[in-house]
A and B are shown apart, each in its own frame.
Chain A
Amino acid sequence: MGEKIIEVKDVWFKYSEKVTALRGVSLEVAQGERIALIGQNGSGKTTLAKHLNGLLKPTKGDVIVKGMNTKETPTHILTNIVGYVFQNPAHQIFTKSVYEEVAYGPKNQGLSKEEVDERVKMALELVGLSGYENVHPYDLNYGQMKLLTIASIIAMQPDVYVLDEPTSGQDHRGRRKLMKLIDRLNREGKTIIVITHDMRFVAETSERTILMARGKIIGDGPTEEILLNTELLRQTAIKPPQIVQLCEGLRKQGIDLHALTIQEAYQVLRRKLAAS
């Protein structure tokens, strides 16, 4: 694991006198980690994520990004380190062409025309949207729009990617594409933080899972540990992946089976069948 890139120290956040969204959240993120941030709507996931790039500043406590306290650092410096991909692509897209959309970030970083073009080319290739440069973003389908919003963040070459609900509205093929893309970015040493309700996606993509409820972190550990802790999940009304539910049910029938994904369950069953 790489060195510490983000440190969240006892952070509290109030949207107003009455609404406290974070209640003493602490965590550390190392460069190159793949983290899933899960919890019900209103649990504080998005509020926490928006603290990582300085979109929100703590009411109490500190967030340190690459050694810089977000309270004392201009947001544009932080957003170059932590890229945030919004859930609804329409909330992010604001230009008239795919090229403009992706070029906006690197242009603002003060890069030359050649460098900007280079970045756009690279980012569109990575997400599979080469050839769409002159298309209006709203003429893309929903899945492509999502990929476009990711490309516009890739073009800024941040160290950390925060992806808010990347699989919503995606089909099987879109999910596979996303998984490959996340793998690729992670292999290049990028840190990936995915905010999601999609437990199957969590099981298949994240090493570490952070579970939030009522503005607090109530679970933080290897994904396996969190998703197999059905008691903990039930407190938050999150349904574990179907395979985890299957294993839980079979264990009650006296069959010892622990697995997160279809492949894992298959391997365990295969070994058991071969042994008998």
Chain B
Amino acid sequence: MPGSAEPLLAARGVSVYFPVGSQLAARIRHEERLLRAVDGVDLEIGRGEVLALVGESGSGKSTLALALAGLRPVDRGEIRFDGRALPANRSRADRRRIQMVFQDPYSSLNPRLTVGGMLGELLRVHHVVPRSQVEAFSTELLTLVGLSESDLSAYPRQFSGGQRQRVAIARALALRPDVLVADEPVSALDVSVQATILNLLRDLRGELGLTLLLISHNLAVVRHLCDRVAVMYLGRIVEVAPTEQLFSAPRHPYTQGLLAAIPRLTDSADYGGAPAVAGDPPSPLRIPAGCRFRTRCPMAQPRCEQEDPALSASPDDPGHLAACHFAFGPVAAAVGELQKKEQP
């Protein structure tokens, strides 16, 4: 829960860089071109909490997820888990405790292993249960995600997209992890199937007390499932707040624009006017100086070009953080109100 003593999983000043362009030229010039995919992120997830990480493509949300799950080394900062910093090379026991579900269930399952073979291998390698119980526990896992024992002998190709995603979730749960990191778990699925997977994740959370980090670009999905939301833009977290608060009173101008940009079933009469957020996001190779959002921000001031705003808490509410000079001033609140009126 937000505000509890020690978060289960935390990122402290985490940065992940990718070198781009010719490595030879970089060595000659003594400077490397770096793509700062994640650029100094602080984020905490409490035990039993469902935290959403939202952002557009290129915002670094998937890279941050990979770093948290230990699938990608961090270049700066540290990842803390259960009260201690995790080393760069995690032990097998540490890796077990944070598991991942990927976006595309068509490419994330081994096509040449049956579901039973896949789960059995995991359970044996990690000694999750005694060998004699491997089959029984595999069946239990499948039941948990809504599949049946007979599916143990099936290959991934025999399943539909939604069923494959269930298998992927069963595989992640096989190691009895504390944290499940789900990177866009439903965006590759049809609408009617998405609902079954979202409901499954919500039920699992209730049954197993799972801590869940859900990465999504779809804010409607997030609102349905999560306790808190963190919004990412160009490698930084720009706003964090409890879900309802983020949706009803967003403070960062990017969050406000993102919310206004969502198509709605109940539509405003005059569609076709000015877009919610103008322009394209800048390339992460050329991050603007000062505030990163200023190039698209409707209320950018000269100050925003010079000072990089830090992620700081609202004076009224320590659980609501935003990285904007004016986030908790009267202007931001007024803009938020105005946008709410425009979008009834």
Q: Say whether A and B bind each other.
A: no
Q: Which residues of A contact B (CB under 8 A)?
A: none
